[in-house]
Amino acid sequence: MASDHSSPIAPRLRWALFTVLCVAGVFNAMDRPIIAILKPDMMADFGWSDKNFGDLAAVTQFSAAFAFLVTGWLVDRLGVNRSMQVGASAWSLAAMAHGWAFSTWQVVAARVGLGVTEAVQTPLTIKTVATLFPADKRSFAFGFATLLAGAGTIGMPFVIPPLADAVGWRGALVAGGIGGFVSLIAWMWLARGIAGLNARGGEESAAQVAGGEAYGPILANRQTWAIVVAKALSDMTWWFINFWLADYYRKEFGLSTLELAVPLAIAFAGSGLGALLAGWASTKLLEAGWSPNRVRKGVMLVCALIVLPLPLVLSLNTFWPVAVMMGVVMAGHQGFSLSLFSTITDVVPEAKVGRVTAFGAFMGNMGGVAISLVTGRVLDAGFGFVPLFVFAAASYLVALAWFHLLLPEIRRPVPDSEVFD
């Protein structure tokens, strides 16, 4: 099981460090709304179709997916502080490389580089939560992280269009890289002299990781597959909305790039508020004596039911109810995802948290690859958004059914030797 002790770091410094990490994560993920919002500009520059755009999104997800298999080990091996320094430097440079991408293959190369380096963020965040916070406070920390990420994403539709008008889509991506370096400087200043942030995991070699030995106990474990398959199914909807919601608004309601700001902000506001509410509710229920099993699965069920009415938006002729419903769907996703991540910290030894999280992120990104490839082809074939919305609505209930089938009971604590070793 993950360590249950409280960090000796002062609470104010603990939250300051975690906030800087979350802000760095906003810059890490800035490329996604840039690509989604400025899709027409990029398609005009390169003559792309919906299929080409879907393939580009899939390439990014594919590279990130396989990078997660190494970045999880890297975070476990280096510890929080060194992982932040390596990761933020790498993904910031990769974002800035888009400034010199003037052909399709150069864009693909930059996207692959960014996908690979961005993959540090997820296991780093989970590892940081496990390092800084006691077990019963981690759900709230996850909710706070998602709220801050959502707040950053809410601002993107208002910032990106004027920024792109001034410096183009390439310059907007370069700006994200600069922000990443600023966040890293703030982190290094706050983290100086804190030895606990340099704690490392096991001594497995890179050769062991490549050969699968370090992942062996994890892959052989039933709990792992409960989490990661549920992650893949639910993340398909997340990546679909992230990359295609702006396009849906353009095609169905004729919105311009500037007019996308408010409806996209509503969607991502729902994302942040849903995560914060789910994290707060989970923490309160655990403090009230509810079992982790009851809390995690109860929150996941509520979130799955929230998403279920999604296809009804296709029958609405007025725009604003659709925008609100998309916010509700995003809230449901984040509450569901938060419970999956919290389950990792419930049942996984701290030294292996990075790798289990990374494998879950790998599966989630492979789900993103699949939905990106399918979406581009479904739209180019003229089927519209109906089959995609129907799948999205059902994906969370299917994910929860799988999760419960393989993990009927979540228990804390469990001796490490009985679970993963």
Domain ranges of the chain: 11-193+220-419
CA dihedral angle for residue 308, residue 310, residue 316, residue 321, rounded to 10 degrees: 100
Contacts of 347 (CB under 8 A, 6+ apart): 1, 2, 223, 410, 411, 412, 414, 419
- Burial class of residue 318 (count of CB atoms within 10 Å of its CB; 0-12, 13-18, 19+): exposed
Q: Both tokens of residue 312?
A: 């009804």
CB hemisphere CA count around 202 (13 angstroms): 18
332 close to 399: Cβ distance less than 8 angstroms: no
pLDDT value, residue 256: 86
Query: Tokens for 93?
Result: 């440079």
Q: Provide the phi-psi class of 168: left if phi over 0, else alpha when psi is between -120 and 50, else beta.
A: left
Task: Of 362, 326, 266, give the one whose Cα is nearest residue 69.
Answer: 362
The pTM is what?
Answer: 0.73
Residue 162, amino acid: P
3-class secondary-structure state, position 342: helix
Give CA–CA dist 216/402, Å, rounded: 22
For 8, which DSSP code?
S
Residue 114's closest CA among 40, 64, 183? 64
Among 21, 11, 144, smallest CA distance to 87 is for 21
The DSSP string of 15-82 is HHHHHHHHHHHHHHTTHHHHHHHTHHHHHHHHT--HHHHHHHHHHHHHHHHHHHHHHHHHHHHH-HHH
Q: For the chain, what's the residue count?
A: 421
**pLDDT for position 412:** 64
| Residue 259 and residue 52 in contact, taking contact as beta carbons nearer than 8 Å | no
Contact 274, 302 (CB under 8 A): no
- Cis bond leading into 413, ω under 30°? yes
Tell me the one-letter amino acid at 7.
Answer: S
DSSP 158-217: HHHHHHHHHHHHHHHHHHHHHHHHHHHHHHHHHHTT-GGGG-------HHHHHHTTTTHH
Amino acid 199: pLDDT: 61
pLDDT at 232: 94
pLDDT at 5: 42
Tens of pLDDT along the chain (421 residues) come to: 444 444 467 778 888 999 999 999 888 888 888 888 888 888 888 888 888 888 988 888 889 888 877 887 888 888 888 999 999 999 999 999 988 988 899 999 999 998 899 888 888 888 888 888 887 778 788 778 877 877 887 788 888 888 888 888 889 889 999 999 999 999 999 988 776 676 655 444 333 333 344 556 777 788 889 999 999 999 999 999 988 998 999 888 998 888 888 998 898 888 878 888 998 999 899 889 899 999 999 999 999 999 999 999 888 888 899 999 999 999 999 999 989 988 887 877 766 776 787 788 889 989 989 999 999 999 989 999 999 999 999 999 999 999 999 999 887 644 444 444 4
Instruction: Please give the pLDDT value at position 324.
Output: 93
- The span from the first CA to the last CA of the chain, in angstroms, equals 11
Fold of 11-193+220-419: Growth Hormone; Chain: A; (1.20.1250)
Q: Decide: 372 and 39 in contact? Cβ < 8 Å.
A: no
